[in-house]
Amino acid sequence: MQTLRLKRDWIYGWLLLLPALVFLFAFTHIPAVTTLLNSFFSTPRGRRPAKFIGLENYERMLNDAVFWKVLWNNLWFAIGTIPVSVALAIVMALWVNDKLAGRSFVRMAYFTPTVLPLIAVANIWLFFYTPGFGLFDQITGFLFGWPASNYLGNPETALNAIIVVTVWKEAGFFMIFYLAALQAIPISLKEAAQIEGAGRWTIFWRITFPLLMPTTLFVCVNAVINSFRLVDHIFILTDGGPDNASALLLFYIYEVAFRFWETAYGATLTVALLVLLSLLAIGQFFFFDRKVHYK
């Protein structure tokens, strides 16, 4: 009887899983494997089929100056967006969690960028950055008398301009997770510390911040993935230019595969991205594992 029940459970379990697994394998796992396989072949063109070329694509990648450039850009993009947006998210959450005058307006203002499409966000900011009569130049011109400047057209500032847009879009999203975590912290902890005479600053660093660690881990993992995934706004703001100054890895993969139609090389670059993502995920897990207090 027991074994019969178990066997029936097996069949039900597998049958229930089947539809989801078919789609998962078809669009995630199998493509991941074929990406790896295709990276060892040449790009098929017309009547010429793909042929095995070993590590030639990887050799090309290592010698590709643009690849190193976009990788470097991506590193800067991550360093520029992650700490700032996470710190802003914590500050926002602390404010919104407080009894603040006009709290619902403030919360709405922080969160609104999250519901806007990144493409729409890019359009709004493109107008903001317009040299001469965009709001950015108008404000800096009015306050400091700065001349009109082309932030997006200058290789020095293009990537930073994109980082600003990304922080604006992401901080409110991460705020939500911190808000949820803050509301789960028992108020008695804070009251006990206050009775002991601890100031706001001490309470934050000694009690609130350590208790937020699991959230910080979750948010950071998300932020790292996002720093490789968010490229929509680049299409509108700079199209990767000038001279690849603001291109990121995924954007470059798009260019290689769908503008130059070099799919095999695109697959090779995708492998690099996948390896990078896995290493980062593993690294973060170990880095945070020691510091996180689980409940």
Partner 1 sequence: MTRASDMFDRFLNTFAAWALALLWILPLAYAVWTAIHPSAYEANFDLFAPLTTENFVKAWQAAPFHRYFLNTFILVTMILAGQFLLCTLAAFAFARFEFPGRNVLFALVLLQLLVMPDILMVENYQTMRLLNLVDTIPAIALPYIASGFGIFLLRQTFMTIPKELDEAARIEGASVLGVLWKVYIPLAKPTYLAYGLVSVSHHWNNFLWPLIVTNSVETRPVTVGLSVFSAIDSGIEWSVINAATLMTSGPLLIAFLLFQRQFVQSFMRAGIK
51-52-54-60 Cα dihedral, nearest 10 degrees: 10
For 239, residues 6+ apart whose C-beta sits below 8 A from its C-beta are: none
**Which of 75, 135, 192, 275 is in the footprint of partner 1 by CB under 8 A?**
135
Question: Nearest approach, Cβ of 55 to partner 1 (angstroms)?
Answer: 19
181: number of CA atoms within 13 Å, CB side? 25
115 counts as binding partner 1 under rule CB under 8 A: yes
For 60, residues 6+ apart whose C-beta sits below 8 A from its C-beta are: 265, 268
**Gyration radius of the chain over CA positions:** 24
The answer, yes or no, to whether the previous bond of 242 is cis (omega within 30 of 0) is yes
123 counts as binding partner 1 under rule CB under 8 A: yes
253 counts as binding partner 1 under rule CB under 8 A: yes
**Which of 49, 54, 186, 199 is in the footprint of partner 1 by CB under 8 A?**
199
Q: Which is nearer to partner 1, 19 or 145 (CB)?
A: 19
**Which of 163, 179, 223, 247 is in the footprint of partner 1 by CB under 8 A?**
179
Q: Which is nearer to partner 1, 75 or 184 (CB)?
A: 184
Residues 43-102 that bind partner 1 (CB under 8 A): 91-92, 95-96, 98, 100-102
Stretch that binds partner 1, among 45-53, 145-153, 202-210, 272-280 (CB under 8 A): 272-280
284 counts as binding partner 1 under rule CB under 8 A: no
Q: What are the helix (H) ranges across 151-262?
A: 158-184, 187-195, 200-203, 209-211, 213-229, 232-237, 249-254
12 counts as binding partner 1 under rule CB under 8 A: yes
22 counts as binding partner 1 under rule CB under 8 A: yes
144: number of CA atoms within 13 Å, CB side? 7
Report the Cα–Cα distance between both ends of the chain, in Å, rounded: 40
Q: Which is nearer to partner 1, 40 or 173 (CB)?
A: 173
